[in-house]
């Protein structure tokens, strides 16, 4: 048995086996806390300033040697340098050594705590987050003071880099050819670590909370970027098993990647469009690399977050036009602003709603703030002149909402026409189906729009009444609940009855177990994270529409989720025994709490 198995959020897929190598740790928890004799206070102050000076010199040298492709991160290093030179940090630490006789590392920790308090009071989330930068530079100085420094150039072969957090400066110093994987305590799905790992094509996990506690330098670890697991000091058997798994995965991913540009067509000749969900224009490279046939969901929130002022129409149009023209003639579906709930715009502030998931968000927020809405509609319309652009509204609950949203769109068109600005007058307009109410009236909504896009993540949560991030009830988040399946089927049928297309853009679309059922329903396109496309395309290319329809019929007769899951899994085990070990599925959630 392994010493321990810990988990994190996978941000880059693959399996790596190697020696743990810590490049930076947060020192706050295990800082030496001593007092210094009065006669040594002067020396301790010198030690503090020397440590600051060394870190400044090292960082300045890194800044100097930064390769061209990472230059955009230069300004972050400049910020770190200014913080290191800031008397408010080093000077405050010096004061603590002088007045309280603390050792340098502890004194610096107190200076950091003072800053934490100052930053904590700021309402601008962007500025508040800069506290993380203060933490990063303080950690670097404390590393020097404690003499626990790691020589990154000493990394030998097959290293799995572990860190509290990885900064762009850290990644510049690392030698890419010797690194097998990354794991960090901090960070979310969109962190720098994930971007780095994907560009190096190595697996990575972030948010591994117990990393510093459970893993020691030099431990043999298996990092599974498919399941999000880190196995610490595995047994002989486990090691052999993972070695085999890694080799198989390697072969498998090479094979599916080679075939990813082939169309997603079943044995018996049915075509499904396989599209990508993206958030940044930069992701188009990944879309095209992975065989994406277009963008089925462009989330437009990013441009509105972490800033004080709203983006201007020109700023948005620049981005939107870039995306439309790079992807042209492939389709790009722009979803209008889906803010509120968990994400909100700084200039509007938090809404303080008791229940934000049912609050003023998405289309509701836009209809309440038509000026903001129209700026975005105009920018999307302008992009429509440059490519194959569609637009869709999120969180629609009724016919009136769609009509209101379309009225603003018509007004934006009229304005542009008067101003002589080009746009595509026939740009398709769709609505997302995320609310049970929208499902029930899909028949009516279908007459208002050109296409549907089913957002299953929200639809499942709203119809089952389950917040999947709430660990008390997350076991009830069941993508293949009979209610979910009937909802999807109802929407697909209503769309086809009215002669419009229907797409699906939730995580279900990239779940290999669920895809055959979606095919059976006759869905026209599915949209998913770019990295999932090759695997899903392969599944589609190896199935028969006839079998999918049969599976769907069987599944629709089941009364319980476990029966459905069993049927679906049997189907996959039967047809894809080879791949099955590499799938991570939403269905594995199916266990009752004890």
Instruction: State the nearest-atom distance from the C-beta of 295 to other proteins, in Å.
Output: 27
Catalytic residue list contains 505: yes
Backbone φ and ψ for 231, nearest 5 degrees, come out as -100, 115
Cβ distance to other proteins smaller for residue 117 or 497? 117
Residue 143: how many CB atoms within 10 A of its CB?
Answer: 19
57-78 burial, b for 16+ CB within 10 Å, e for fewer?
eebeebbeebeeeeeebeebbe
Residue 198: how many CB atoms within 10 A of its CB?
Answer: 17
State the chain's maximal CA–CA distance in angstroms. Answer: 88
Instruction: State the nearest-atom distance from the C-beta of 411 to other proteins, in Å.
Output: 27
Contacts of 535 (CB under 8 A, 6+ apart): 256, 512, 579, 582, 583
Reported as type and span, the H/E element at residue 128 is helix 125-129
Instruction: State the nearest-atom distance from the C-beta of 110 to other proteins, in Å.
Output: 15
3-state secondary structure 81-111: HHHHHCHHHHHHHHHHHHHHCECHHHHHHHH
- Rounded distance between C-alpha atoms, residue 224 and residue 216, angstroms: 18
CA distances from 494 to 348, 433, 441, 497, 499 (A): 37, 12, 9, 5, 9
Instruction: State the nearest-atom distance from the C-beta of 383 to other proteins, in Å.
Output: 22
Cβ distance to other proteins smaller for residue 117 or 325? 117
Cβ distance to other proteins smaller for residue 83 or 162? 83
Cβ distance to other proteins smaller for residue 350 or 588? 350
Cβ distance to other proteins smaller for residue 78 or 282? 78
Catalytic residue list contains 260: no
Q: Of the candidates 517, 580, 514, 567, which has an alpha carbon nearest to the alpha carbon of residue 545?
A: 517
Asked whether 498 and 447 are in contact (CB, 8 A), the reply is yes
426-453 burial, b for 16+ CB within 10 Å, e for fewer?
ebbbbbbbbbeebbebbeebbebbbbbb
Asked whether 449 and 431 are in contact (CB, 8 A), the reply is yes
Contacts of 466 (CB under 8 A, 6+ apart): 460, 473, 474, 476, 477
The conformation of residue 306, written as its DSSP 8-state character, comes to S
Instruction: State the nearest-atom distance from the C-beta of 52 to other proteins, in Å.
Output: 14
Instruction: State the nearest-atom distance from the C-beta of 123 to other proteins, in Å.
Output: 7
Instruction: State the nearest-atom distance from the C-beta of 150 to other proteins, in Å.
Output: 27
Asked whether 205 and 6 are in contact (CB, 8 A), the reply is no
Q: Of the candidates 457, 450, 460, 459, which has an alpha carbon nearest to the alpha carbon of residue 424?
A: 450
Contact positions vs other proteins (CB under 8 A):
75-76, 78-79, 82-83, 85-89, 115, 118-119, 121-124, 126-127, 130, 133-134, 307-309
- Rounded distance between C-alpha atoms, residue 201 and residue 195, angstroms: 10
Residue 332: how many CB atoms within 10 A of its CB?
Answer: 30
Instruction: State the nearest-atom distance from the C-beta of 32 to other proteins, in Å.
Output: 25
Cβ distance to other proteins smaller for residue 133 or 322? 133
β-pairing, 204-206 vs 294-299, is unpaired
CA-derived radius of gyration, the chain: 27
Cβ distance to other proteins smaller for residue 168 or 291? 168
∠ Cα 91 37 31 (to 5°): 60
3-state secondary structure 427-473: CCEEEEECCHHHHHCHHHHCCCCCEEEECHHHHHHHHHCCCCCCCCC
- Rounded distance between C-alpha atoms, residue 201 and residue 506, angstroms: 25
- Rounded distance between C-alpha atoms, residue 416 and residue 182, angstroms: 49
Instruction: State the nearest-atom distance from the C-beta of 161 to other proteins, in Å.
Output: 26
Which SS3 state, helix, strand or coil, does residue 26 take?
coil
Cβ distance to other proteins smaller for residue 55 or 381? 55
Among 27, 366, 481, 505, which one carries the catalytic annotation?
A: 505
Instruction: State the nearest-atom distance from the C-beta of 31 to other proteins, in Å.
Output: 21
Among 192, 260, 481, 514, which one carries the catalytic annotation?
A: 192
Instruction: Cite the active site residues.
Output: 192, 505
């Amino acid at each position: 048995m392994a010493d321990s198995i810990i988990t994190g959020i996978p941000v880059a897929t693959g399996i790596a086996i190697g020696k743990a190598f810590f490049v930076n740790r947060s020192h706050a928890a295990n800082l030496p806390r001593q007092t210094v004799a009065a006669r040594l206070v002067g020396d301790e102050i010198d030690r503090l300033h020397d440590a600051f000076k060394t870190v400044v010199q090292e960082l300045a040298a890194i800044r100097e040697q930064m390769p061209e492709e990472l230059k955009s991160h230069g300004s972050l290093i400049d910020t770190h340098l200014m913080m290191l030179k800031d008397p408010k940090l080093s000077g405050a630490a010096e004061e603590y050594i002088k007045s309280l006789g603390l050792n340098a590392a502890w004194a610096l920790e107190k200076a950091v705590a003072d800053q934490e308090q100052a930053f904590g009071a700021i309402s601008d989330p962007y500025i508040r987050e800069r506290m993380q930068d203060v933490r990063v530079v303080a950690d670097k100085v404390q590393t020097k003071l404690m003499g626990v420094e790691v020589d990154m150039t000493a990394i030998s072969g097959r290293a799995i880099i572990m860190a509290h957090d990885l900064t762009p400066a850290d990644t510049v110093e690392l030698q890419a050819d010797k690194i097998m994987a990354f794991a960090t305590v901090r960070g979310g799905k969109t962190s720098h670590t994930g971007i780095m790992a994907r560009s190096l094509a190595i697996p990575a996990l972030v948010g591994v909370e117990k990393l510093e506690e459970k893993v020691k330098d030099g431990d043999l670890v298996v990092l599974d970027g498919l399941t999000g697991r880190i196995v610490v000091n595995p047994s002989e058997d486990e090691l052999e098993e993972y070695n085999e798994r890694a080799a198989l995965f390697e072969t498998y991913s090479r094979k599916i990647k080679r075939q990813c540009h082939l169309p997603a067509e079943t044995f018996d000749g049915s075509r499904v469009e396989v599209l990508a969900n993206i958030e940044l224009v930069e992701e188009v490279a990944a879309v095209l690399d992975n065989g994406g046939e277009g963008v089925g969901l462009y989330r437009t929130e990013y441009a509105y977050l972490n800033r004080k002022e709203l983006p201007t129409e020109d700023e948005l149009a620049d981005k939107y036009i870039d995306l439309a023209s790079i992807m042209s003639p492939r389709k790009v579906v722009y979803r209008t602003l889906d803010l509120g709930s968990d994400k909100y715009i700084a200039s509007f502030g938090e809404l303080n709603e008791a229940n934000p998931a049912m609050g003023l968000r998405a289309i509701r927020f836009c209809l309440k703030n038509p000026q903001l809405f129209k700026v975005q509609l105009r920018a999307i319309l302008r992009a429509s002149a440059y490519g194959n652009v569609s637009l869709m509204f999120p969180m629609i609950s009724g016919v009136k909402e769609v009509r209101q949203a379309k009225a603003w769109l018509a007004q934006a068109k009229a304005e542009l026409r008067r101003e002589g600005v080009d746009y595509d007058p026939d740009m398709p307009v769709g609505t997302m189906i995320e609310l049970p109410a929208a499902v029930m009236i899909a028949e009516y909504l279908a007459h208002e729009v050109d296409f549907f896009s089913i957002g299953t993540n929200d639809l499942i949560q709203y119809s089952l009444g389950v917040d999947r991030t709430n660990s008390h009830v997350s076991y009830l988040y069941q993508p293949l609940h009979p209610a979910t399946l009937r909802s999807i089927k109802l929407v697909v049928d209503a769309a086809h009855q009215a002669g419009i297309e229907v797409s699906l853009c939730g995580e279900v679309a990239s779940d290999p177990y669920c895809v055959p059922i979606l095919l059976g329903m006759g869905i026209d396109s599915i949209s998913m994270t770019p990295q999932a496309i090759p695997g899903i395309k392969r599944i589609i290319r190896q199935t028969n529409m006839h079998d999918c329809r049969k599976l769907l019929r069987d599944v629709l007769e089941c009364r319980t989720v476990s029966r459905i899951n069993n049927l679906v899994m049997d189907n996959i085990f039967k047809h894809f025994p080879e791949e099955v070990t590499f799938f991570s599925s939403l269905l594995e959630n199916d266990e009752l709490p004890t």
